[in-house]
Amino acid sequence: MIRGPGLKALVRNRLALIGGLIVLAMFAVSWLAPAISPHDPDKIAVAVRFKPPLTPGHPLGTDSLGRDVLSRMIWGSRISLKVGFVAVGLSTLVGLLLGAVAGYRGGLTDALIMRFCDLMLCFPSMFLILAVIAILKPSVWNVMIVIGLTSWMGVARLVRAELMSLKSRDFILAAKAMGASDARIIWHHLLPNAMGPVLVTATLGVAGAILTESSLSFLGLGVQPPTSTWGSILSEGKNYLERAWWLSLYPGLAILITVLSYNLLGEGLREALNPRSTSANS
């Protein structure tokens, strides 16, 4: 999808390159968690509780139950990345379907879908997520589904706008003249040409989903103990700020660096996929 001048522009963008490398490093850490985690993240050892960072065997210290913070951080990265990608995948799929139908069909169908989209946008997303999570049992899957089903509106509006500008092009008219079905025109001709902006939105959406999951876990409405997440470690740390500052520092830094990396990568993709910026830089 990114080739030629766009790929060169992405490689030349140092901030985007740094963001992409950090994202790949996060993937590697989460994938290799069973091999690189020094301890069982849920193992309780009261004898070594509140050990500070750089303690032998516990580089990032221990928490109130003596659990190794580094191990919990490593395993927590799995949950954060899983929530980010599954939630964004779900929201992108829903947005693609509704936006494609609205943009291609137009008329009453477009009006109904867009008014429903406007209705969803009227509700503050965090309050809507909190309301649904409060009704459902908090779990990793419920968190992913709720985040995904409350964040599709931007993708739908973007895809609709792209398809409305593409459906009158000559190659679409030629496909219709050859008897191609509506489904084939949408999936084989329109959507592939509209995926650039969607890719950028999805990349930025991963950062938002990770931040939302961390916020829910911090409030106790996300993934439930004993499963470790960055938000839950941060939530525990707020109770021991004076005694165990590292419980708040390290998960906060992990969330900050991850969200910032996805945003840098997303901005780099936006510039790389923008024909004007790539032609100006080439």
Taking 3-state DSSP, the helix, strand and coil percentages for the chain, each rounded to the nearest 5, stand at: 75, 0, 25
CA distance 272 to 203: 13
pLDDT category at 95 given cuts 50, 70, 90 is very high
> Is the bond preceding residue 225 a cis peptide, omega within 30 degrees?
no
Q: Residue 157 has which token pair? A: 């509006």
Between the two ends of the chain, the Cα-to-Cα distance in Å is: 18
pLDDT category at 278 given cuts 50, 70, 90 is very low
pLDDT category at 275 given cuts 50, 70, 90 is low
The helix (H) or strand (E) run that includes residue 262 is: helix 246-272
Query: Is it the case that residue 276 has pLDDT exceeding 70?
Result: no
What's the confidence (pLDDT) of residue 36? Answer: 93
Higher pLDDT, 18 or 282: 18
Query: Is it the case that residue 279 has pLDDT exceeding 50?
Result: no
Query: Is it the case that residue 274 has pLDDT exceeding 70?
Result: no
Higher pLDDT, 257 or 13: 257
For 158-174, the pLDDT digits (tens) are 999 888 888 878 888 88
For 16-58, the pLDDT digits (tens) are 889 999 999 999 999 999 999 999 998 899 889 999 999 998 9
DSSP string, 106-158: -HHHHHHHHHHHHHHHHS-HHHHHHHHHHHSPP-HHHHHHHHHHTS-HHHHHH
Name residue 238's amino acid.
Answer: K
Query: Is it the case that residue 257 has pLDDT exceeding 90?
Result: yes
pLDDT category at 69 given cuts 50, 70, 90 is very high
Cα 80–89–156 angle (5° rounding)? Answer: 130
CA distance 130 to 221: 8
Query: Is it the case that residue 175 has pLDDT exceeding 80?
Result: yes
pTM for this model (two decimals): 0.84
The residue assigned the tokens 């849920």 is 42
CA distance 146 to 131: 10
Range with the poorest average pLDDT among 66-75, 86-95, 122-131: 122-131
For 151-160, the pLDDT digits (tens) are 899 999 999 9
Least Cα distance to 212 among 60, 63, 91 occurs for 91
Range with the poorest average pLDDT among 5-14, 50-59, 245-254: 5-14
CA distance 32 to 255: 19
CA distance 240 to 150: 34
Higher pLDDT, 21 or 216: 21
For 238-250, the pLDDT digits (tens) are 888 888 899 999 9
pLDDT category at 181 given cuts 50, 70, 90 is confident
- Given a contact cutoff of 8 angstroms between Cβ atoms, the answer to whether 220 and 71 are in contact is no
How many domains does one find in the chain?
1
- Which CATH number characterizes residue 126's domain? 1.10.3720.10
Range with the poorest average pLDDT among 163-167, 179-183, 213-217: 179-183
Query: Is it the case that residue 6 has pLDDT exceeding 70?
Result: no
Least Cα distance to 213 among 78, 96, 107 occurs for 78
Q: Which domain holds residue 65?
A: 5-281
DSSP-derived letter for residue 190 is I
Q: Which residues contact 140 (CB under 8 A, 6 or more apart)?
A: 79, 82, 83, 223, 227
Query: Is it the case that residue 277 has pLDDT exceeding 60?
Result: no
